[in-house]
Amino acid sequence: MDEPFPNVAKTAATAPHVEAFFDAATSTLTYVVTSPGTRHCVIIDPVLDNDSSSAAVSKVSADTVVRYVRENRLSVAYILETHVHADHLSGAHYLRQNLGGLVGIGAEITEVQSAVAEIYSDASPLAPGGSQFDILLEDERTLTFGCLDIRVLHVPGHTPACVAYLIGDALFAGDTLFMPDTGTARCDFPGGDARSLYRSIQRLLRLPETTRVFVCHDYQPNGRSLQYVASIKTHRDHNVHVNETVSEASFVTMRCQRDAGLGPPKLMLPSLQVNVRGGTLPRHPITGEPILYLPVNKLGAAGTRDIQDIFPGQHASADLTD
């Protein structure tokens, strides 16, 4: 099969080496980005494995990254999240324990933490100030590793805390952009906004046209092979949701209509409570054991949280048998 997005040419001295790790279960890409001529690297959007049927959390995906870093004798400067993911558990804390590095996320994480705390009704207390992360990243902040800078770009829309990372000629867009044949991510999570997403994308599309855009997910539409990088020019010309012919008004209409028909991501409830904590699991208030909470009917069933509403008449019939 012909590849729809040919390899993007690198820009000599400003091109980091990018190694991609694909988690097929969640269609998520984790990246290890290495500064040329050095052994310094950053890790972007790492994954922990979660079996929703058994609530088992494992580290197979994260250990693949650990092996790569150790085999190549790399030094991890940062472990960076593009946003609070709703479709997989973050491996940031586990990688920090094993490889070092500072865990960073967009400064607006505090807004997301407040919204998430409401979903879980503070079943496991959550400090809302972002202290679970080593660094909170403001728009246009610059970090340095090896001989390269990391430019932080605040790109709200999918969530209010989304950031993209520009490292040399490589842009790590998170869920702000998908591959051109897939388009863009949903905007119906707490604090999401289609108009903000459109404007964030326009900001990214003003970057040099040779910039390589690395996406956080690839859903391989129509059975095509895995693809995770395309140029800014390719997005401008061919992105099915936001190419240069698409107006803000038409994008907002399209995005809102699509989002209205989407259900919650399969791993949303397990993921949010872990990811707002930087990849650590909540603890049971009595035993101290790791625990994942599943609040009933907090997603997609507003107004039916009480057991009498979920199962009408259950208590009445029970009383008759006492």
- Structural domain includes residue 165: yes
- Structural domain includes residue 3: no
As a whole number of angstroms, the distance between CA 311 and CA 256 comes to 32
- Structural domain includes residue 155: yes
Q: Which domain holds residue 266?
A: 14-275
- Structural domain includes residue 304: no
As a whole number of angstroms, the distance between CA 294 and CA 291 comes to 10
pTM above 0.85, yes or no: yes
Per-residue pLDDT of the chain (322 residues; tens, 9 = 90+): 344 555 554 544 579 999 999 999 999 999 999 999 999 999 999 999 999 888 899 999 999 999 999 999 999 999 999 999 999 999 999 999 999 999 999 999 999 999 888 888 766 678 778 999 999 999 999 999 999 999 999 999 999 999 999 999 999 999 999 999 999 999 999 899 999 999 999 999 999 999 999 999 999 999 999 999 999 999 999 999 999 999 999 999 999 999 999 989 999 999 999 999 999 999 988 898 999 998 888 776 554 445 444 455 444 444 433 3
As a whole number of angstroms, the distance between CA 28 and CA 73 comes to 25
Q: Collapse the DSSP code of 214 into the 3-class scheme (helix H, G, I; strand E, B; otherwise coil) and give the result.
A: strand
- Structural domain includes residue 256: yes
- Structural domain includes residue 22: yes
For the chain, state the CA radius of gyration.
21
- Structural domain includes residue 186: yes
CB 170 within 8 A of CB 214: yes
- Structural domain includes residue 288: no
Q: How many domains does the chain have?
A: 1
Report which of 108, 275, 103 is spatially closest to residue 196, judged by C-alpha positions: 108
Give the CATH number for residue 182: 3.60.15.10
As a whole number of angstroms, the distance between CA 136 and CA 129 comes to 10
